[in-house]
Structure 1
Amino acid sequence: MSQAKSTFEQWRILQAVVDCGGYAQAAEKLNKSQSSLNHAVAKLQTQLGVALLEVRGRKAYLTESGEVLLRRSRHITRSVSELEQLASNLEKGWEPSLLISREMIYPMEHLIDALAEFEPQGRGTRITILDSVISGSAELVESEAVDLAIIGGAPPKGHLAQPLCNVDFHLVCHPSHPLASMELPLDDQTLAEQLQIVIKDTGQIARGELGWLKAERRWTVANFHEALVVLSKGLGFCWIPSHLICDAIKEGRLTRLTLKGSSHRQVPLSLVIPNRDKQGPASQLLEQLILKNHSVLEGEGEG
């Protein structure tokens, strides 16, 4: 591997000369002598064997070759600066990555809103989001496999949870399904005789599936997108979060059903920090932004 002919500092000086419009202005910005800047750029051009600048009057102008090389140099110096910033962040304990567990029923737009606010302050922290269901969410918290977890229902024993919101479920089927033409509300026995679509528990030791589970005929799928595809074919019924099916119900692509004694279901969602003692500053910032998104910090809560 050949040794580099130029240095990071030389390119930084060249950028300053161009951006400031001359050597004198750049010298003032960089707190260096004008002669040292002249020497650095002249040496850079000699080392490369390419003319980068030409001086006309009191201003320095890029040559065509200089424009190409300067443009590329900005990417390189930016990358070096980001690398140095990352090293500084790691030294201070700022996490280079965060792993978030999201109960699948949690509205994704809420999390994206918080992440959009986090990104400009995130110092390059990489984000990974895992979708989980029922015991899968609990297992990720108990094993401390994630930095933050949005869970449904009660938190695992020994963990505190901050309530975020409630998600309503509606019982739906396709308009062509026999249930759609039956008199409402339906009774348990009628529903138990039909095919039910449920969402698979993501836990290693599955404790159940997502949905009312009295139907003997049951198809289990990985997520609500797959469940909606099945329903669109006129097959089965399913409990689906209301925010996922508002448009489909309005447009007549799905029919909402009611069950005696249960017009809808509601699941509370909460934010859990699996290990508060090990929580870093990036995780703390994102936690605050998620809570802010739900007005929890102001004590207003959200229903």
Structure 2
Amino acid sequence: MKLSLDALAMLDAIDSAGSFAAAARQLYRVPSALTHAVRRLEDDLGFALFERVGRRARLTPAGRTLLTDGRQLLAAANELECRARRVATGWEVELRIALNALLPFNALLPLIAEFDAQGHGTRLRFDHEVLAGSWDALSSGRADLVVGASGEALRESALVSRSLGNAVVLFCHAPDHPLAAVPEPLPTHEIRKHRAVVLADTTRTLQARSAGLISGQDALIVPDFSAKLAAQVAGLGVGHLPPCIAQPAIDAGQLVSRQTETGFSREPMHLAWRRSHDGRALQWFVQQLSTPHWRSQLQLQDA
């Protein structure tokens, strides 16, 4: 057989890393061995998989087609392995956790350490999601557990959700922004005159949502909260930020937090997972994250 799951994983690593050298580091192999393996695979298949563009490796059209469909095989094999392990031991090979970008990942580090100390061997994978992307990650299978699925709970019988409380965000702008001359509470019609900095919704299949954007307001759409913070500090726009991100900039005098006529903005947060997932690692995290202690650590307020 010319193609194997290991070969597909190798192609996936090279494409994701962008170069043979970077992929070799991820795979704990020397670059020359990786190059040789790809050339041997190309010889077996009878067509080129990569072309060199400077130091980067770019898939050929044939290679892209092979890897696009091959990633579905990799995902299916990973799911099969996870299901088999859950049947055998009850503990997942991997638990994929989607964390709402509003919530501080650092707050979960002690919880991760506590889980690791039990030695169950489950690999943890965290990703950030924004707005409807949280529910989409769960319903599409990108995540097994969502911490902070936002907005209204998705009404789908295959999913289970419970309220975690509300995430509070602060309306901020740079000290020299024109809104600094407007007295509090800031009227909505004054805010509308100025560009908002907003995160792109990470959903792939559900209808995208927006938050903190007033109808008719111009927007600068950025990929993450680091970019949003930098843009607001630079005076390129205004918008809401979670306290864990905004407070250091406020303390340093780079941003000011202002009251608006609509009051503090709160986003409902949920803990959500698929009803069919009965792995013990998921159950452990659900149990821990449902406690008042961890809701407090995630800076969530009661609904």
TM range (shorter): 0.5 to 0.7
Aligned to 1:145: 142
Alpha-carbon distance in structure 2 between the residues aligned to 1:295 and 1:231:
30
Alpha-carbon distance in structure 2 between the residues aligned to 1:210 and 1:200:
10
Any gaps of 5 or more consecutive residues in structure 1?
A: 1-86
Alpha-carbon distance in structure 2 between the residues aligned to 1:271 and 1:199:
21
Structure 1 residue 122, shift from structure 2 partner: 4.3
Question: Kindly tell me: are residues 163 and 294 of structure 1, through their superposed partners in 2, closer, same or farther at Cα, counting changes over 3 Å?
Answer: farther
Cα contact 1:111–1:290 (8 A) shared by 2: no
Q: Does 1:193 align with 2:190?
A: no
Structure 1 residue 144, shift from structure 2 partner: 3.6
Q: How many residue pairs were aligned? A: 211
Which letter maps to 2:178? P
Aligned to 1:102: 99
Alpha-carbon distance in structure 1 between the residues aligned to 2:119 and 2:282:
10
Aligned to 2:42: none
Tell me which structure has the larger Cα radius of gyration.
Answer: 1
Aligned to 1:243: 244
The equivalences for 1:43-192 within 5 A come to 91-150=88-147, 151-158=149-156, 159-192=159-192
Range moving further from structure 2, 178-187 or 227-236: 178-187
State the Cα deviation string for residues 189-209 of structure 1 (Å, max 9, x = none): 211111111110001144223
Any gaps of 5 or more consecutive residues in structure 2?
A: 1-83
Which letter maps to 1:93? G
Task: Tell me the TM-score normalized by structure 1.
Answer: 0.63
Which aligned runs of 4 or more in structure 1 are off by greater than 4 angstroms?
A: 87-90
Cα contact 2:137–2:143 (8 A) shared by 1: yes
Which letter maps to 2:144? D
Question: Kindly tell me: are residues 211 and 156 of structure 1, through their superposed partners in 2, closer, same or farther at Cα, counting changes over 3 Å?
Answer: same
Task: Tell me the TM-score normalized by structure 2.
Answer: 0.63
Structure 1 residue 170, shift from structure 2 partner: 1.1
Paired-residue identity, % = 26
Which letter maps to 1:285? W
Question: Kindly tell me: are residues 152 and 111 of structure 1, through their superposed partners in 2, closer, same or farther at Cα, counting changes over 3 Å?
Answer: farther
Alpha-carbon distance in structure 2 between the residues aligned to 1:241 and 1:254:
13
Question: Kindly tell me: are residues 89 and 209 of structure 1, through their superposed partners in 2, closer, same or farther at Cα, counting changes over 3 Å?
Answer: closer
Aligned to 2:224: 223
User: Any idea what SS the aligned residue of 1:285 has?
Assistant: helix
User: Any idea what SS the aligned residue of 1:209 has?
Assistant: coil
User: Any idea what SS the aligned residue of 1:286 has?
Assistant: helix
User: Any idea what SS the aligned residue of 1:179 has?
Assistant: helix
Which letter maps to 2:122? T
Structure 1 residue 302, shift from structure 2 partner: 5.3
Cα contact 1:99–1:146 (8 A) shared by 2: yes
Alpha-carbon distance in structure 1 between the residues aligned to 2:132 and 2:249:
29
Range moving further from structure 2, 146-155 or 208-217: 208-217
Q: RMSD across aligned C-alpha pairs, in angstroms?
A: 2.4
